[in-house]
Amino acid sequence: MNQKDRKIIFDKFNGHCAYCGCELQKGWHVDELMPCKRKYKYIASHWINLETGENTTSNRAVVRNPEKWKYVVSAYLPDGCEYPERLVIENQMPACASCNINKHSMSLEDFRQLIQGFMKHLNELNTQYKIAKRYGLVKENIKPIVFYFENNS
């Protein structure tokens, strides 16, 4: 993505995360409101001939001419996405890293439900949270989740 498009997306909500509303910091993310679900393909470790592009998993050819070969470690590489038509500025939102990472490829309503469930999980699983609540350091405020962009569009 070029800098001009990132600036357009950043300016949609005056430098705020479209979801939580925090001021965006260096390293902010671009999120697709309606997810595009990126796909990945697995590439096993192999040797590639730098002159011919030939691939092999055999060390025999490499031993004869090691300077002509490069070892490629296994990896998951991007391989397109579902719904590529969603990769447009109109569907892209500025997001802080934590919102984007938690939203992942969820729909907006699934993300809303995830956040709504945070309080339940804190009360069930987090001892420090439960103690802080008992000592009055935390006051729970159960309310519907409304995203920043829903009030600032």
The pLDDT tens digits for 116-131 are: 999 999 999 999 999 9
Per-10-residue mean pLDDT for the chain, 153 residues long? 96 98 97 91 88 84 84 85 93 98 95 95 94 95 95 81
Inter-CA distances, 32 with 37, 53, 142, Å: 9, 36, 27
Of the candidates 93, 91, 74, 95, the one whose C-alpha atom is nearest the C-alpha of residue 29 is 95
pLDDT digits (tens, 9 = 90+) for 130-139: 999 999 999 9
Question: Sign (positive/negative) of CA torsion 76, 82, 88, 91?
Answer: negative
- Going from N- to C-terminal start, the domains of the chain cover 1-35+86-153, 38-81
pTM for the structure as a whole: 0.74
